[in-house]
Every structure is written in C-alpha cells, then in structure tokens.
Structure 1
Amino acid sequence: MNYLNINKLIVVKNLERYEETGRLDKNYLSTLLSDAIPTLIL
C-alpha cells in the first residue's frame, strides 16, 4: 500500500501558488490535520 501525506501535498501546492500569485488560502490551511504543521513551519 502506498502512503501519501495528502495534507503535506496540499500545503506544498498552496505555498507554490502563493509564490506565484501572492494569494494564500489561510482559512483552508487552518483546517488541515496536524501532520501538515511541519510543512507550514518550514
């Protein structure tokens, strides 16, 4: 079985969009599970 941390992927994609557009969906990011936190901190 493959394991994919979907929350991390969401954070990475949102940060990539932020770098390109300057837009960040803070409300959505705040709803992600705690396994997304390390990616947000980096």
Structure 2
Amino acid sequence: MRRGHIKLNVPNLQFDATTGEYRVSHHVSPKGYYKGAQVVKNDNANA
C-alpha cells in the first residue's frame, strides 16, 4: 500500500437546525428527525 492511502477520514457532520445538534449527513438524528421532519417516533425519556 502506498503512503497516499494513509490518511484520516473526517466524518461528514452537518448541523441540524431542528434539533440543534450535529449529525452525520444522510442519517436520522438521535431524536428521529431527517430533513426537518420527524420520521421516527421516539418514546424514550432520555432523548
């Protein structure tokens, strides 16, 4: 393997204005929101 392949991968994080948290792009936030709409209902009290 050449040294050009040895690098750190930066996670692709985006700020979610709905929840006020950072999340990985193209993934549902921990509170169940995706693109500003709630797609997963979370009944967990810790969320």
Q: TM-score, normalised by structure 2?
A: 0.24
Q: Of Structure 1 and Structure 2, which has the larger fraction of its residues in helix?
A: 1
Q: TM-score, normalised by structure 1?
A: 0.25
Give the structure, 1 or 2, with the largest relative contact order (CA under 8 Å, sep 6 or more).
Answer: 1
Which of these two proteins has the greater Rg computed from alpha carbons? Answer: 2
